[in-house]
Each structure stands twice: as structure tokens, then as C-alpha cells.
Chain A
Amino acid sequence: MLWQTVRLAVQAIFRNALRSILTVLGVVIGVAAVIAMVTVGQGSTEQVTSDVAKLGTNLLMVRPGQAQQGPQPGNPASAFNLRDVEAIATQLASVRAAAPADTRTMTVILGDQNHATQVVGTDSAYLTARDIPVVLGRSFYESELRSGAAVCLLGQTVRKELFGSGDPLGQSFRIKSISCRVIGVMAEQGVSTFGTDQDDFVLIPIRTFQRRIAGNADVTMIYVSVRDGVDTGVAKSQIESLLRERRHIGPGEEDDFNVFDMKQVATILTGITAVLTGLLSAVAAVSLLVGGIGIMNIMLVSVTERTREIGIRLAIGAQEGQVLLQFLVEAIVLSLLGGLLGILLGLGLAAIAAALMKIPFSPNPLVILLAFGFSAAVGVVFGYFPARRAARLDPIEALRHQ
């Protein structure tokens, strides 16, 4: 009986194919919007999460100067030095690795090839802190770091620019006046959420950088990776109190440095994505509501058009519940059809958007199921009133209807 009712409903819907499509358009758009939003939202959240993981899990970045933007009050804060880095690395149990860094944009030259890139003076801890493996060659030796040897590790972009597909190991190129020997190549990091190439850099020992490029003993950034299982907030406050002590900042005075937690970025970005997804889903829900009203409208028209049919069915012995079911099933089949079209359309749009935005395409089965259920619910809610009207018709009046 139920199967028969469904078949009847499908027949009635396809008898008026164009009208049915226009009727469910609202539901199609609503569901498509929800699916597309949530899928793209999920994709970008995954992207952000993996980007942050790529920057180094549990990564803290310590910089001189206050956290706020704009001109700093008073004298510019002094840079760190290598002893600060050593203190963080050795005195704090929560710290797994601490790497000094100073960075310049410089031109690297090999023969007639030249390329502007980020030259980073640091040590081996940088690779640990940022979780970047060396895929070719080796990391720095302790002796090279201590003596400030002219050796370097290449990011994939620099390697391609200078050496193409050739083997760079043991080769030398120039950074300014320094002739630098390649000892290793780092793994590819890809493009960040913000669109920057994370493989366009060269690592050289920090002492080499200080002596031959910067001409001072400054460390302008410290990368700190926190031990697994340790809360980054705890490590952050430990670093803060250690540095306050080392930089002789009295109680009541503000920090002249800041510790930046990569998790904060992740949290902020994920939060923004969630809010946007929520807002757009609300808009989509309104569209579903409008779609539901469209279905109710057409079902009411359909009941009026088919008054005589309802009269015949009632006369022949259909009970109220059976007529109700017939029209309710028709409304539900109609809105489920809309839901199905919407899901396909939404996934299609999300796939295109994911390809364009270079984020993973990650459909969420739960959301798809939910959208399907929601469109069924729209059918029940907005189909009930017309169906009840059909079921309560007086058979005599209905048979007389022209």
C-alpha cells in the first residue's frame, strides 16, 4: 500500500514535471547552499589545521617588541641574543627545541641564475621546531654552527630556481659576497593559507649570518617547540617569566617582547570559518523555509485541481488517513527530490570551489544526511496542511466539483 502510494506520488509529480521542478527549486537552492557552505567551510578548516601543523606542532614564536600593532612607544625593544635562546632551550623542561633566527630577503646567484629569497640564519633546532625534514643530504654539524661555516640548506623553490633538476649537493652558489656550499635540501611545505610560498628560503648557520650578513649578534626571532603533552599556554608563561628576568623587566612594567602561539591563529581562523558557515547556513535555512512554502502552495493548488479525484477515492472507500497519506507522501517525495538535487548541486559547487581555492574537497556524510532529513521534514511540515484539507473534503461536494 505504501509502495503503491509512493508510486502514485511519483506519477503525479512527473505528470507535471516542469511545475514540480519550479516548485522544488526553493528546496534545491536551500539544500545546495547548505551543502556547499558546509563542505567548503570544512575544507578550509582542514586546510588551516594542516597549515598550522606544517608550521610546526606546538610552535611558539618569540619576537622583540610588544604584541600590539602600530608604532611602539619609547625606544625600540632590543633584539635577543644566542644566550637567550640557549637559556630557553636548557632551563625550561617544557621546551623541546628552541631555534634562533634572523631573516633577510636577499638575492642568491649561481652562474647567470639569480633569485630573490628569504635567507634565514639559524641552527639545527629550527628543523626540529618547525618539523621540517631534510630529504636530501644532511643538517648542520655542530662544528659548522660554532665556526660559522659557509654551508646551507635549500628550500625546494630555491633548489628548483638555481639547480633545476640537477643534484645541488656539494655545489656552491653566492649569497651577496658569500660563497655557500649546499649540504642539504628540505622537504616541500607547499603554499600557506595566506598564499605565500613556504619553500622559498635558504638556511645558513646563525653565526655565519650574524658575522657576514647582519654584522651584529642579534637574534630577531626565537622559534620554540613545546614538548608533546605540555600545554602551550604553560610554556608561553614560562618563557615570558624567563625572558622578563633576563631582560631585567621590573614588576609592573610591560613586556618588551611577545610570545605568539600558532594555535591562536588556528583557533581564530577556525572560529572565523565557523561563524561564516553558521551565518550562511542561516541564510540557507531561510531559503529552505521559502522553498517549503512554495511546496505548500503548489500542494494546495494540486488538492483543488484534484478535488474530483479525491471525491472518487473517498466514494470508493478511501479513509481519511489514506488520502492524507497520499498527499503527504507526494509532498515528501517532492521535497526529497528537491533535497537530492540540492545535495548533488551543492557537492558539485563545493568541488568546483575547492578546486579553485586549492583546499581539500571534504563532503561531510552527516551534513548530507541531515540535509536529506531536513528536506523530508520540509515535506512533512508543509505538506500536512494541504493533505489534511484533501482528506477532510466532503465526498459529495468533491464529486460535484468541476
Chain B
Amino acid sequence: MSADAPLIALERITKTYGMGDAMVRALDGVDLTIAAGDFVAIMGPSGSGKSTTMNILGCLDTPTSGHYRFKGVDVSGLNRDQRALLRRHYIGFVFQGYNLLPRTSALENVEMPLLYKGMAHDERRALALDALDKVGLADRAGHDPSELSGGQQQRVAIARAIVGRPAVIMADEPTGNLDTARSHEIMELLTRFNTEDGITIVMVTHEPDVAVFAHRQIHFLDGRIARDGATVEAV
């Protein structure tokens, strides 16, 4: 992995589903570079290809053609387990529906990524508590997700995403289920991890007032990038 390569570089990425007449072209030659430390919002109507892009960026899915270089390394051809390892060490996920394990305490939810890293119990516990503290939920460590509000659950999910010190957080509509006040709390947290810890953030959203937290907004339309530019605060 070369140090001066961009964190993420997509080259002529296409993704198609189905065969023959039923073939759907979800991505149609996407070129995209994201530098380490950036905060990017991906926007666009449904069906525009933003979720597919997100899945490919998060190494949950593979492109039909084109190259995806992560820290300069081509990951397009990695198999399932190799991609799992990549996710484990470099990528944190935040989902719209929080996706915490039910009937499992906040602390254990946050510990889970460290478990797969093979970390010892005490170290795991300390790091998870620290992460919960950073999202302001240290006092809720023993609570089950069902005992937490939506905003709190999403904060636990963010703690789970950052606990392994990833290079990048993939946030898929992180505020989609929250009201404006909670949304702002979540965005402030993400901004803090971006500026203070230097974690790159790639976020899918269709809310313009959430997208303004990002430094850069990329609009998708029909499987291509329609617009890509810095956020203009004044708008």
C-alpha cells in the first residue's frame, strides 16, 4: 500500500444485474477519488446508483468491471473472506436502521468488531468503553438496544464503527430514521471523528441539510456522477 495513493479510487466502475433484456445497469462507468480525511456526501434519487456505489466502496459488493483501489491496492478481485478482512481492519459501518444486535448490551455491541480482530477480553472492554464515552453513552453501556432511543442507538452504532480505528466510515442514511435535532447530534459526532481522528467519512443521504456537514457532495443520476463539488456553506 503506497502512502501517497488516495484512500479510495474508483476507475470506470460498472455494475450490472441480471442478463440479456432484463439486464439493469446500476453503475455505468464511475470514476471517483476520495482522499484520506475527506468527508463526502453521496446524493441522488433512488435508483441512481448511490447505494450500489456505497456497497462497492464498503467492499460488501464487487463491481462487474473496472478497478477499485483502496490505499493503492486493487481490491476488485478479492474473494469474500479477503473482503471481510479488509472491512474488519479499515472500514466502519453506520446504517439507517442502526443494526445493533438485539438482546445484547451496548457495550457488547461495540465490542463485537474487536472480537473478530481477536483482541483479548480486557483490552476489548476498555476500548469499547472508551468508544461509548466518546459518543456520550458510557453510562448506558449495560443497556440493551431496546432500552435506548433511536438517537442513542445510532450513537452506539457509531461507537461500534469507530472502535476499531478504521480508515473510513461508510454511513448509509445515518439520519434517515431521526428527527432534526437527533440528526444534528449524529452529524456533529461524525464531523468530530472526521476532524479530530482523521477518519474519512463517506455518507449516503438525500437530505440537503444533512449533506451540508460534508466537505464534498457527489450527486448521482442514472448510474453516473452528475455533479461533484465542494459544499457551499452559504446555499
Contact = CB atoms under 8 A, between A and B. Distances in A.
Q: Do A and B bind each other?
A: yes
Given A4-B115, A317-B88, A15 B81 contact: no
Interface string A1-41: 10010000000000100000000000000000000000000
A399 B116 CA distance: 18
Interface stretch (A242-250, A307-315, A360-368): A307-315
B55 A1 contact: no
Interface in B97-139: 99-103, 112-113, 115-118
Nearest to B111: A4
A91 interface: no
Contacts of B60: 315, 395-396
A356 interface: no
Given A312-B101, A395-B60, A396-B60, A317 B89 contact: yes
Given A15-B103, A312-B99, A395-B60, A1 B84 contact: no
A92 B81 CA distance: 82
A315 B99 CA distance: 11
Contacts of A395: 60
A144 interface: no
Contacts of A312: 99-101
B80 interface: yes
A317 B116 CA distance: 7
A322 B115 CA distance: 11
A316 interface: yes
Size range of the chain A interface in the assembly: 20 to 34
A171 interface: no
B95 interface: yes
B44 interface: no
Nearest to B93: A315
Contacts of A315: 58, 60, 87, 93, 99
A317 B87 contact: yes
Most buried by B among A4, A309, A316, A396: A316
12 contacts: A4-B115, A308-B99, A312-B101, A316-B87, A317-B85, A317-B113, A318-B84, A319-B85, A320-B80, A396-B55, A396-B61, A399-B99
Most buried by B among A308, A309, A317: A317
Nearest to A314: B84
Contacts of A322: 116
A313 B81 CA distance: 13
Interface in A317-333: 317-322
Given A395-B60, A396-B60, A399-B99, A319 B55 contact: no
Contacts of A1: 115, 118
Contacts of B117: 317
Contacts of B85: 317, 319
A318 B58 contact: no
A316 B112 CA distance: 8
A306 B101 CA distance: 9
A4 B118 CA distance: 10
Interface string A377-402: 00000000000000000011001000
A308 to B, nearest CB: 7
Contacts of B102: 309
B99 A318 contact: no
